[in-house]
Amino acid sequence: MKNNKGFGKFEVLTVIVLLLVVFAFIAYKFLGGASSQKLDTMKESAVSFSKAVTVNHNTFHNTENIYLGEVIDEQLIKPIKNPLGKGNCSESESVVHMRNGLPYVTLRCGDYLIDGESISSKKDVDIYKVSNWSEKKTNDDDEEKTFYNCVDNGKEVFDEYYEDLYFVYQINKKYQTSYFFISHVSKTCEVKEKKMYRTKSLFELD
């Protein structure tokens, strides 16, 4: 059966399918480019974070391990928007470690992670896909880390558990102390710890 323009149902369906394939291909290429651009934006944010720390690292109490939250508190950088999802990049898991005068940057933005990179070129930067931290280990390849909180007057002080050096920073900030190591924090409150696990794999665009 043909419509009033002389096309049969089969021909019409064929045209529709071909159009859907073309649109799907265009959408795939567009989204792939957008993803690549967003990854570049994350790398550029890591470079900006690194530069803010390098220029001002003597400003901080611990000059060798400087977290994004500290740099924001000092108003040396604005919160970094997550270019790959909602919200901002993590202030407690993003850190610059200064080693022999060189910055090594870790930046976590949602499910994506730049991990301890000495950034000289965006092309040289690996990006990983990570899961949220969990108390449950899912497989033998899971990354493991210990996180901390403290108890004061029978209550946990912080709403979340932090990795060691950011935990020390938060204790110093709250109690006006000047600790460098987690072993000293027990002078102020009872330290609690949790072992946490996450999956981590190198991310590559298709």
Q: For residue range 3-40, what is the model confidence (pLDDT) as tens digits? A: 555 556 556 556 554 545 444 444 444 444 448 899 99
Tell me which H or E stretch contains 191: strand 190-198
Query: Is residue 162 a contact partner of residue 148, using CB atoms and an 8 Å limit?
Result: yes
Q: State the pLDDT at residue 204.
A: 83
Q: What is the reported pTM?
A: 0.82
**Strand arrangement of the beta sheet that strand 65-67 belongs to:** 65-67, 95-99, 102-109, 112-117, 128-130, 200-202
Q: For residue range 127-142, what is the model confidence (pLDDT) as tens digits? A: 999 999 999 999 999 9
The residues, ordered by sequence, that sit 6+ positions from 24 with a Cβ below 8 Å of its Cβ are: none
Q: Are strands 112-117 and 200-202 parallel, antiparallel or unpaired?
A: unpaired
Q: What is the DSSP string of 90-120?
A: -SSS-EEEEETTEEEEEEEETTEEEEEE--S
Tell me which H or E stretch contains 198: strand 190-198
Residue whose tokens read 């330290």:
191
- Please give the Cα distance from 81 to 87 (Å, whole number): 6
Which one of 21-25, 116-120, 180-184 scores highest in mean pLDDT?
180-184
Domain ranges of the chain: 1-130, 133-200
For residue 124, pLDDT over 80 is answered with no
Q: State the pLDDT at residue 195.
A: 98
- Please give the Cα distance from 42 to 119 (Å, whole number): 12
